[in-house]
Amino acid sequence: MQRLAKKWQRAGTRIGLVPTMGYLHAGHLSLVQRARQAIGQRGVVVVSIYVNPTQFGPQEDFSRYPRDLKRDLKLCRDAGVDVVFTPGDGEMYPRWGEAPDEPAREDARPTSGFSTYVVEEKLSQGMEGAARPTHFRGVTTVVAKLFNLIQPEVAMFGQKDFQQAAIIKRMVADLNFPVRIVVAPTRREPDGLAMSSRNKYLVGDLRRQATILWCAIQMARATVKKSRTFPAVKLTAAVKKLVACEPDARLDYVEFFEPDTLAPVAEVRRGTQMALAVFVGRTRLVDNAQL
């Protein structure tokens, strides 16, 4: 992959990257379209598909995360993707020093011999960083590796993972990666649920209950529209009460913060960013919006 990328660069070919963990949906494909627009018809659009083990915690859904490479490849072909990069764990995380006869486990992480990570230490502290302490270390490390391997001029990320996009932008600025980060709006289902590969887990009435995240955002927006400012602590309580109305939903966190710095605010007003995470059954969903 790296040799191919360098060959493109020598020829003056622009490279656009859409990093994914697969099980693609319309949100991913909209990023492909934006990548094509950004680099032009003569450029190369690369989609990476890799379920990155280092961004999953020990009790999270790494082993059952939805995977369907055959389906993903067809979607990429139909969307005009030029190259799909699908590395394996052994390529991304060499097993230096690992015993060759170590027994495999279903939830095993193939990274015991890997020891170099990229860590952002400010924007990653709250919200997802607090709920999933090792998550962003895995994200920044794998994205840095993808940037080194694919050498993109532009990389596309979705706004659904607002904190992640902010951290990637900070990493690029702090470490002088020659990559332009484009953050595209969240794509939603007709009932407002943010598109996500994990939506596959939502069966039966859980799918209906999952719309509580969008309902919470709409409620917060309506509150801000009525009041010039509103105490964040009161809006947090209102969101918690609303989520509790659904029998299988449980609020993990809700945060109101400045979109540029991710700093929490005491008073919510127009322009404040809202982010929340909710368990619906066993499935953990995230969403965010500007109020």
Looking at the annotation, which residues are catalytic? 28
**Beta-sheet strand order (sheet of 15-20):** 83-85, 44-49, 15-20, 154-158, 180-184
8 Å CB contact between 38 and 73: no
* 174/169 Cα distance (integer angstroms): 9
Burial class of residue 221 in the structure, from the number of CB atoms within 10 Å of its CB (0-12 exposed, 13-18 middle, 19+ buried)? middle
Cα distances (Å, whole numbers) of residue 223 to 246, 265, 270: 21, 16, 10
Among residues 110, 139, 109, the alpha carbon closest in space to that of 124 is found at 139
Q: How many CB atoms lie within 10 A of CB 231?
A: 14
Cα distances (Å, whole numbers) of residue 250 to 210, 254, 279: 11, 11, 5
For 157, the token pair is: 């990320």
- If DSSP states are collapsed to H, E and C, what string results for 175-212? CCCCCEEEEECCCECCCCCECCHHHHHCCCHHHHHCCH
